């Protein structure tokens, strides 16, 4: 089908649910607004925002490839294979593949491969952790100047040193918090632990504290904890301790906790990473 006069996109393919995807000649599977949709003779569904060639009734939603549904608003996005249930708006944003349940809005933002449940806002932002929320402020490349918020957690039942992991998933794509190479990063972490029981534990005992510091990471990914401090906020009972380790090679910023014997403890921390990365080798 040829482009209609005055329009920069045209129909590309019709999905199994009857919705029509468009192309600008470079980026495929774009979504059309109502004027464009109706100009090509299709019906615009104002409720779902979809351009429809026909309506289909399904008795089982599993029959519809909803899990592969992503919506693109804007232009010149690069959406790699495996991206699903993702909303991308703006211009020149990119997913590297196997990304699910993500949201990108702005300009020239990226989400690394295998990263899920991430959000990137602004310009030149980069999400590299599961569930990461990134607010970007421009820069020469994606991920150079930004603020990221990352959730880490785990559980302990004894005094064994135990690492906290992104979204509590030791086997996830990014287990720890990773500052980028050639950067100086400020970290601000709010950590809490609560006892849920155990032979020597008292349900409801807790501790909360704030960790603040900075990490220098060079081109070979050698990390230096430049400064660090811990501020106690509140506590009740014996719930163990937490410490930050950046010394074991390129393992990122590892948050290690040490619980207490016969106490069931649930640990949770939110890490704010303020990134200043350069293209210059340091």
* Residue 67 confidence (pLDDT): 40
Q: Which pLDDT belongs to residue 16?
A: 64
Strand partners, 275: 146, 185
pLDDT at 17: 65
The residue extents of the domains of the chain are: 10-139, 146-277
Nearest of 179, 152, 130, 172 to residue 255 by alpha carbon: 152
How many whole angstroms separate alpha carbon 219 and alpha carbon 182? Answer: 5
DSSP 6: T
Residue 199 is encoded by which pair of tokens? 């032979």
- Report the candidate in 28, 35, 24 with the shortest Cα–Cα distance to residue 14: 28
Name the phi and psi angles at 160, rounded to 5: -70, 135
The pLDDT score that the predictor gives to residue 59 is 38
Q: Mind listing the pLDDT tens digit for each residue in 194-236?
A: 999 999 999 999 999 999 999 999 999 899 999 999 999 999 9
* CA–CA gap between residue 18 and residue 40 (Å, rounded): 15
pLDDT in tens, 81-118: 888 899 999 999 999 988 999 999 999 999 999 999 99
Distance CA 151, CA 134 (A): 12
Q: Which helix (H) or strand (E) holds 23?
A: strand 20-23
Residue 120, phi then psi, degrees to nearest 5? -130, 130
Are 254 and 143 contacting, i.e. CB atoms less than 8 angstroms apart?
A: no
Is 3.50.50 the CATH number for 146-277? Answer: no
Cα–Cα distance, 123 to 115 (Å, whole number): 19
Residue carrying the six token digits 């944003």:
93
Q: Report the alpha-carbon distance of residue 78 to residue 80 in Å, rounded.
A: 6
Give the span between the Cα atoms of 214 and 221, in whole angstroms: 15
- The Cα–Cα gap between 244 and 210 comes to 12
Three-state DSSP state, 39: helix
Cα–Cα dist 74/93, whole Å = 9
Below-70 pLDDT ranges, the chain: 16-17, 47-48, 56-69, 172-173, 249
Return the pLDDT at 57.
47
Supply the pLDDT for residue 135. 98
């Amino acid at each position: 089908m040829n482009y209609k006069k005055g329009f920069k996109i045209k129909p590309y393919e019709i999905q199994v649910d009857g919705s029509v995807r468009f192309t600008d000649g470079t980026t495929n599977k774009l979504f059309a607004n109502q004027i464009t949709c109706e100009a090509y003779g299709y019906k615009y569904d104002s409720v779902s925002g979809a351009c429809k060639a026909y309506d289909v009734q399904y008795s089982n939603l599993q029959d519809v490839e909803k899990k592969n549904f992503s919506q693109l608003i804007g232009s010149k996005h690069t959406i790699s294979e495996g991206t699903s249930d993702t909303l991308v708006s703006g211009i020149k944003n990119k997913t590297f593949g196997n990304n699910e349940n993500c949201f990108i809005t702005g300009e020239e933002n990226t989400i690394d491969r295998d990263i899920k449940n991430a959000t990137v806002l602004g310009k030149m932002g980069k999400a590299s952790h599961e569930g990461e929320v990134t607010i970007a402020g421009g820069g020469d490349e994606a991920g150079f100047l930004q603020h990221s918020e990352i959730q880490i957690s785990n559980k302990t039942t004894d005094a064994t040193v135990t690492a906290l992991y992104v979204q509590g998933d030791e086997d996830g794509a990014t287990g720890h918090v990773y500052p980028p190479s050639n950067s100086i990063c400020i970290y601000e972490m709010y950590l809490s632990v609560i006892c849920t029981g155990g032979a020597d534990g008292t349900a409801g005992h807790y501790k909360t504290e704030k960790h603040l510091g900075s990490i220098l990471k060079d081109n070979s990914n050698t990390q230096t904890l430049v400064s660090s401090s811990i501020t106690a906020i509140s506590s009740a009972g014996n719930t163990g301790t937490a410490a930050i380790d950046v010394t074991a090679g390129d393992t990122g910023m590892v948050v290690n906790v040490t619980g207490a014997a016969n106490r069931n403890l649930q640990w949770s921390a939110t890490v704010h990473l303020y990134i200043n990365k350069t293209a210059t080798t340091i």
